[in-house]
Amino acid sequence: MTTASSQQPQSGAERPVLTNRQGHAVFDNQNQRTIGARGPATLENYQFLEKISHFDRERIPERVVHARGATAFGFFEAYGTVGDEPISTYTRAKLFQEKGKRTDVAVRFSTVAGGRDSSEVARDPRGFAVKFYTEDGNWDLVGNNLGVFFIRDAIKFPDFIHSQKPDPVTFERQDPNRAFDFLSQTPESLHMVTLVFSPRGIPAGYRTQQGFGVNTYKWVNAQGDTKLVKYHWMPKLGVRSLTAEDAANIQATDLGSHTRDLYEAIERGEYPEWELSVQLMDDDEHPELDFDPLDDTKVWPEERFPLRKVGRMVLDRAPENFFLENEQIAFGTGVLVDGLDFSDDKMLVGRTFSYSDTQRYRVGPNYLQLPVNAPRAKVATNQRDGQMAYGVDLADGQNPHVNYEPSILGGLREAEHPTHDEQGPVITGRLTRKRIPRTNDYQQAGERYLLSEQWERDDLVANLVDALGQCDRPIQERMVWHLLMAEDELGLRVGEGLGINPDDVGHLEPLPTQVLSDEERARLANLGKNGPRDVAGREMTHCVPNERVVVERCRAVRRPAARRSRPTAAPPRTSRRRRPASTGARARCPHPRCCARRGPSTGPWPPGS
């Protein structure tokens, strides 16, 4: 049997050359074709379009990613301001303008890598997709529960997901050796690795997870002025997470714990609520920053770009039919309303093509006629027929014989644009395939580790040691090298658990795809001896307080008992896999013969409530 673990590394000259299915050699599989290194991307990206289109069609009919999920419905209520300023200063989007204005929403939470019947407590990012049914049509804000992503160019998305899926030959499981083979050769993923392998990689429930737009978008005001914008959802209940041990205790008896918790809370009238905040930045390249604001592997430091509250979201209804309103709901990053716009974020540009392309394939070309996807605004198009069409998008008074434009025979006309159609900075550049110049792959990963709570650090180290312990030695060494480049303590602790010290990896050169900055070269020259990074005054939204929900295996029944606590002391560091200690009262399991004798009931049930 052939496995990734049994394959020996090959030198560059011995490895076969990658081609597309036309037989064309692929000379750059890392970057889309763009105008200049920062974008925008061009439409003739044949290699990217072929690659992502095939990837979109790899599963029938289940979603390739985000297959396991749950939808709920409710409303978004605008504050009419962005922080202390009128929101019209920055965007003309109508849903934000009036204080107290409510817009219907549908939200789908999901895991990413697992199948439709997989566990909801697997270690994985969580999708956080919101569909706003606005008066100007639908707006889809399609994000995750973590503030960054693994890659910054969408051309790498099929490769990344393939590395996280089961081995295509054996299909036995998700192979850590395959996953870290990719991650070790993709240093931009390190920031996300410090999140996914921390407790935040297993939220205690959908109701207690953050949400992020992840990508950089734009706001446009009535004068056509633009600002770069990032979106943040903060749960009213606070952020709560699980360790792998807690998750295993739940998964032993319940694969759908998050969905159950969400729907039971709505049924009890305990409606989940999130507050929406934004960060705003001038629409230019910002050479003064040590990162590119269009890089989705980075967050914007909040001490420089503070969060400004713009509204709240409440979920008060579960689906009436799970298939109709969860399996068939479809989102896309290209679904924006007037006053909202795209940035040149390479990942966003690729997602915008891929999401809608996937929905046309998975659900059908008329997926927008399904009630859960249809806008509340009046629809009038010249699109006709196609598989599963059951309506015609006719406007009142439209000549049904005319399905083209322009026409003087009673057909549709173009709308008047609310402002001039030129906006944003002037873009100049030559067609190229290049990564953005300011990669800075290690700084925020190291800062994120240092800003984490001690129990999160301990759990992150334990999880990395466990996963990397199943990998080949060259992969382990490269990952320890990356971790040492990010932060001494993180690399030293993981290295200790694997039996690898800085001297063992000091000979490694940067990857061929890497161009290190002067600061990074200085860290490399002093690998493991640089001392902690200075994080004084640094604020990151994905480092807000995180409460551990401790779950103990229920001995007599099919549901685990849970308690919430904040650890008072970190466990001693050790190379063995040890979970953080925790103190606090236990919540009573609803089965008195089993768990009641373990302690008094001082908290809610079920987990995450």
Q: What are phi and psi of 564, to 5 degrees?
A: -110, 140
Name the active-site residue from 31, 66, 249, 326. 66
Q: Match 């915008």 to its residue by tokens.
A: 352
| Catalytic site residue from 31, 45, 144, 221 | 144
CA-to-CA dists, residue 489 to 50, 193, 199, 518, angstroms: 43, 16, 18, 21
Per-residue model confidence (pLDDT) at position 578: 39
pLDDT at 34: 85
Q: How far apart are CA 42 and CA 363, in angstroms?
A: 27
Q: In the numeric block, which tokens belong to residue 576?
A: 């063995």
Residue 464 and residue 449 in contact, taking contact as beta carbons nearer than 8 Å: no
Q: Is 416 exposed, middle or buried (0-12, 13-18, 19+ CB in 10 A)?
A: exposed
What does the pLDDT read at residue 1?
36
List, in sequence order, every beta strand (DSSP E) within 396-553.
Answer: 431-432, 546-552
β-bridge pairing 546-552 and 239-241 = parallel
Asked if residues 560 and 254 have their Cβ atoms less than 8 Å apart, the reply is: yes
Measure the CA–CA gap between 307 and 154, rounded to whole angstroms.
Answer: 27
Task: Give ∠ CA 156-160-161 in degrees, rounded to 5.
Answer: 120
Amino acid 391: pLDDT:
86
pLDDT at 381 (0 to 100): 84
Furthest-apart CA pair in the chain: how many Å? Answer: 81
- Residue 7 CA to its chain's centroid (Å): 31
Radius of gyration for the alpha carbons in the chain, expressed in angstroms and rounded: 25
CATH class label, 34-369: mainly beta
Tokens of 390: 């059951």
pLDDT at res. 592: 33
Residue with tokens 């029944």: 557
Where would I find the beta strands (DSSP E) of 236-385? 239-241, 273-282, 308-317, 340-342
Q: What is the pLDDT of residues 349-406, one digit of tens each?
A: 989 888 888 888 888 888 888 999 998 988 888 888 877 787 888 888 889 998 888 8
Please name the residue that has the structure tokens 């050769």.
Answer: 185
How many other C-beta atoms are found inside a 10 Å radius of the C-beta of residue 243?
24
Residues 6+ apart with CB under 8 A from 289: 438
Provide the pLDDT for residue 574.
Answer: 36
97/87 Cα distance (integer angstroms): 6
Q: Is 33 helix (H, G, I), strand (E, B) or coil?
A: coil
Rounded Cα gap, residues 47 and 92, in angstroms? 37
Compute the distance between CA of residue 52 and CA of residue 62 in angstroms, rounded to an integer: 17
> Which regions in the chain score pLDDT beneath 70?
1-13, 20-24, 44, 46, 50, 54, 57-64, 66, 113, 554-609
User: Is 526 labeled as catalytic in the residue annotation?
Assistant: no
The Cα 335–Cα 233 span in angstroms is 19
- Our answer to whether residue 144 is catalytic in this structure is yes
pTM (2 d.p.): 0.84
